[in-house]
């Protein structure tokens, strides 16, 4: 990398982090950094060209699924779904080592399969489970840590908002990404539960098993509380996997299903409907602006010549494929300290994806690996969004929640290493169900 390109890269990155450090909105920071980069280091194209780039980035049929899945999650936040899931799962999991902490993970896994959002998963399950577990004397660190960690499943268990963004930007089938996330998502949930079981076995005073005894009939009746969420999962994901609907169409099915659940639980008032609609509009607008801003910044970096120079620099290092993955993992972990997950993807993908392809890795596999890195960013300070969600619900300091989430961060990293060594963990189901 030439001295000129190195200097330009350092200055551009410095401007971006300065703006972010000043709490300028992420999308605005991306646009301003792009304009600065072009003005300072390249021949600026016409503003009309830049506006077309921003428009084309957001003008994607696949992205239509995004506001629909967000809207579905917002509607489900206002139902009694998390309460029903707790009641349905507690009789089955309460007597395991780790006790009702397993409900945090199992309920998050189920909710993730219909919400697509990490923060929504953590918030919905946390609102019900934190008071219940506190009342039963569970260790606060394990309670908030398991909720922060399990909340990240909202990005890995399909449908996933992050997978939609990656699929659009990397030109990878969103349906295949959804299918590829199933086995890693279940393995991650089992990893979380395994950690809780070990802690519960070694330190039973931290996670007391429930002494309540339930007959088989009571347990089976409890499963009826899980029936609505199970049917919604089958409607949303089953329609994709059977080929009956595209991800966008299945998202519309999910919105209808969420509305029906809200009506069935009698939680849908005019006020909650307006709140859900406005919440979906705000989140969608934020993500759309970030995608557009990142697209303009990517174009600006292309004019400056940064992607080509970075690719040449890494190629000159002659890293083995696995060494490249380790370097990228460390890079994303550090980046996650400062950026949210979607920004991490849209800013880095134009540079990183060609390197991954050149190293012989599948873009489909890299999508799952990148989702794991984004999940890690959700529970690393200072901007880990799940940490703020759990802090708001629990009332604990952000430092306390971050320390509590550390073991679950390590489980995430272990799974990332596992799918790197055995990529078929992510690639087997898409190959089996949809062909290579």
- Position 120 scores a pLDDT of 73
Note down the domain range covering 326.
3-434
Q: How many distinct structural domains can be found in the chain? A: 1
Q: Which pLDDT score is estimated for 308?
A: 65
User: Structure tokens of 48?
Assistant: 């009309």
Determine contact, residues 94/101, Cβ cutoff 8 Å.
no
- B/e letters for 139-149, b = 16+ CB within 10 Å, e = fewer, are bbbbbbbbbbb
pLDDT value of residue 58: 63
Residue 45 confidence (pLDDT): 61
> 356-362: long-range contacts at Cβ-Cβ below 8 A with a sequence spacing of 24 or more?
356/324, 356/328, 358/311, 358/315, 359/321, 359/324, 359/325, 360/321, 361/321, 361/325, 361/423, 362/423, 362/427
Average pLDDT, the chain: 81
- Enter the pTM of the model: 0.78
- Residue 341's pLDDT is what? 73
For the ranges 208-212, 255-259, 336-340, the one whose mean pLDDT is highest = 255-259
Q: Find the distance separating the first CA and the last CA of the chain, reported in whole Å.
A: 37
Could you give the C-alpha distances from 219 to 92, 114, 124, 215, in angstroms and in order? 7, 23, 23, 6
What is the Cα–Cα distance from 334 to 256, expressed in whole angstroms? 40
The more confident residue out of 327 and 184 is 184
CA 97 to chain CA centroid, Å, is 28
What gap in Å lies between CA 10 and CA 262, rounded to an integer?
50
DSSP string, 192-211: HHHHHHHHHHH-TTTSPPP-
At 350 the pLDDT is 79
Give the separation between CA 24 and CA 135, rounded to whole angstroms. Answer: 41
C-alpha 33/C-alpha 432 separation (Å) is: 44
Q: Using CB atoms within 10 A of its CB, is residue 61 exposed (0-12), middle (13-18) or buried (19+)?
A: exposed
Per-residue confidence band for 419, with pLDDT thresholds at 50, 70 and 90: very high
Q: Give the pLDDT of residue 3.
A: 59
pLDDT at position 420:
94
- Judged against a pLDDT cut of 80, whether residue 115 lies above it is answered with no
Phi, psi torsion values for 297, nearest 5 degrees = -65, -40
Q: How far is CA 316 from CA 165, 292, 313, 357, in A?
A: 30, 32, 5, 16
Provide the pLDDT for residue 108. 87
Is the Cα torsion angle 138, 141, 144, 148 positive or negative in sign?
negative
Alpha helices in 22-64 (DSSP H): 26-41, 47-58
C-beta of residue 284 within 8 angstroms of C-beta of residue 70: yes
Average pLDDT, integer, range 389-398: 82
Distance (Å, whole) CA 227 – CA 233: 10
Across residues 123-132, what is the average pLDDT? 80
């Amino acid at each position: 990398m030439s001295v000129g390109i190195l200097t330009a890269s350092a200055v551009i990155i410095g401007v971006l982090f300065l703006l972010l450090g000043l709490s300028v909105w992420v999308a605005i920071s991306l646009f301003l950094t792009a304009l600065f980069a072009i003005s300072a280091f390249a021949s600026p194209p016409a503003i009309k060209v830049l506006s077309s780039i921003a428009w084309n980035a957001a003008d994607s049929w696949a992205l239509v699924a995004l506001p629909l899945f967000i809207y579905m999650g917002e509607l489900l936040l206002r139902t009694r779904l998390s309460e029903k899931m707790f009641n349905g799962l507690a009789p089955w999991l309460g007597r395991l080592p780790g006790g009702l902490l397993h409900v945090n993970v199992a309920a998050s896994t189920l909710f993730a399969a219909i919400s697509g959002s990490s923060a929504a998963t953590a918030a919905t399950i946390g609102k019900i489970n934190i008071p219940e577990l506190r009342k039963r004397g569970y260790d606060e660190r394990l309670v908030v840590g398991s909720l922060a960690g399990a909340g990240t499943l909202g990005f890995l268990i399909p449908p996933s908002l992050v997978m939609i963004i990656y699929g659009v930007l990397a030109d990878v089938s969103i349906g295949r990404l959804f299918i590829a996330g199933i086995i890693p998502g279940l393995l991650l949930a089992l990893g979380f539960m395994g950690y809780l079981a070990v802690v519960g076995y070694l330190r039973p005073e931290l996670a007391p098993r429930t002494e309540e005894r339930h007959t088989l009939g009571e347990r089976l009746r409890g499963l009826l509380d899980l029936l609505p969420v199970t049917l919604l999962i089958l409607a949303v994901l089953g329609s994709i996997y059977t080929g009956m609907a595209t991800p966008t169409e299945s998202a519309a099915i999910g919105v209808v299903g969420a509305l029906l659940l809200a009506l069935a639980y009698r939680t849908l008032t005019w006020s909650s409907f307006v709140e859900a609609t406005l919440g979906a509009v705000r989140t969608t607008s934020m993500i759309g602006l970030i995608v557009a801003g990142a697209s303009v910044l990517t174009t600006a970096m292309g004019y400056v010549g940064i992607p080509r120079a970075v690719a040449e620099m890494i190629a000159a290092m002659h890293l083995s494929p696995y060494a490249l993955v380790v370097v990228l993992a460390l890079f994303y972990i550090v980046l996650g300290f400062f950026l949210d997950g979607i920004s991490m993807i849209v800013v880095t993908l134009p540079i990183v994806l060609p390197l991954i392809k050149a190293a012989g890795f599948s873009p489909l596999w890299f999508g799952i690996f990148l989702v794991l890195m984004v999940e890690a960013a959700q529970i690393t300070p200072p901007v880990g969004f799940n940490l703020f969600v759990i802090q708001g619900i629990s009332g604990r300091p952000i430092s306390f929640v971050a320390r509590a989430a550390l073991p679950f961060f390590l489980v995430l990293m272990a799974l990332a290493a596992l799918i790197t060594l055995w990529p078929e963990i992510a690639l087997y189901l898409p190959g089996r169900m949809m062909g290579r």
